Amino acid sequence: MTITPAVYDDLPAILALQYRAYQSEAELLQDFYIPPLCQTLASLQEEFARGVVLKTTEGDAIIGSVRAHMEGTTAQIGKLIVDPAFQGRGIGTQLLHSVELACSAARYELFTSSKSEKNLRLYERAGYRRFAQKEIKAGLVFIYLEKTAE
Rounded distance, CA 91 to CA 122, Å? 11
Lowest mean per-residue pLDDT among 57-61, 84-88, 122-126, 134-138: 134-138
Q: Please, which pLDDT band fits residue 123 given cuts at 50, 70 and 90?
A: very high
Q: Provide, rounded to the nearest whole percent, the portion of the chain with pLDDT above 90.
A: 79
pLDDT at 139 over 80: no
Lowest mean per-residue pLDDT among 23-27, 61-65, 96-100, 110-114: 23-27
User: Mean per-residue pLDDT for 2-26?
Assistant: 94
Rounded distance, CA 135 to CA 86, Å? 31
Number of domains in the chain: 1
* Of the candidates 143, 54, 128, the residue with the CA atom closest to the CA atom of residue 91: 54
Element (H, E) at 44: helix 41-50
Q: Which residues contact 95 (CB under 8 A, 6 or more apart)?
A: 3, 54, 56, 64, 65, 66, 80, 82
Q: Please, which pLDDT band fits residue 98 given cuts at 50, 70 and 90?
A: very high
Return the pLDDT at 58: 94
| Domain span at 107 | 2-148
Residue 47, phi then psi, degrees to nearest 5: -60, -40
pLDDT at 122 over 80: yes
Q: Find how far residue 59's CA is from the centre of its chain.
A: 22
The CATH number linked to 140 is: 3.40.630.30
Helix (H, G, I), strand (E, B), or coil: what is residue 143? strand
